[in-house]
Amino acid sequence: MGEDYSPEAFEKVILQVSLAERQRLKGELDEYQLSVPQYVVLRALAHVQGGLSMSELAEAAGQVSATMTGIIDRLSERGLVERKPHPSDRRALQVSLTAPGETLLAQIGRKKRLRLQHVLKAIPEADRRQLLHLLHLYLNIILNEAAHK
């Protein structure tokens, strides 16, 4: 209430939220020795039957495939993901979570959920719903805009 409403104010708070969330995520992942890009990849692979190709992963993470090679190298050295041949295209690979990868992801999810419940307790229920709704709205707009670039 009483905030200055302007594009500048909006831009500033969005930037701060984005930076603070990433900082916090990095801190949460520290204990698992996972980087943010590695976590993004693990999440992208969750619940995807048959896995994703390297180029699909690169696309999902907003990176170039040469970058993804390195990320998957490190994740697969740790046994969290695996590269399998693509059934019909011999140029391509199918990357998927291993059992330990799924277990780790579930463990991180539980921890994040607990922490978030604690944060959300500080927001009245009606506001929580409203915030979730507006964030979806905002996300759809910026994703749509990004797609049209």
Told to check if 53 binds DNA by CB under 7 A, we report yes
Of 39, 41, 98, 29, the C-alpha closest to 65 is 41
Angle ∠(79,81,86) on CA atoms, nearest 5:
130
The region of 64-72, 100-108, 128-136, 141-149 touching DNA under the rule CB under 7 A is: 64-72
CA 119 to chain centre: 19
Q: Which is nearer to DNA, 23 or 103 (CB)?
A: 23
- Binding residues vs a copy of itself (CB under 8 A): 1, 3, 5, 7-11, 13-25, 27, 40, 62, 109, 112-113, 116-120, 122-123, 127-139, 141-143, 145-146, 149
Q: How far is CA 105 from the centre of its chain?
A: 11
> Site residues for DNA, window 27-46 (CB under 7 A)?
35, 37-38
Check: CB of residue 101 under 8 Å from CB of residue 81.
yes
Nearer to a copy of itself, 66 or 146 (CB): 146
Q: Which residues pair with 85 in a beta bridge?
A: 93
Closer residue to a copy of itself in complex, CB, 18/92: 18
Residues 6+ apart with CB under 8 A from 46: 97, 102, 105
CB of 129 closer than 8 Å to CB of 135: no
Of 92 and 142, the one with the shorter C-beta distance to a copy of itself is: 142
Residue among 10, 17, 20, 65 that touches DNA (CB under 7 A): 65
Q: Give residues in contact with DNA (CB under 7 A).
A: 35, 37-38, 53-56, 61-74, 83, 86, 88-93
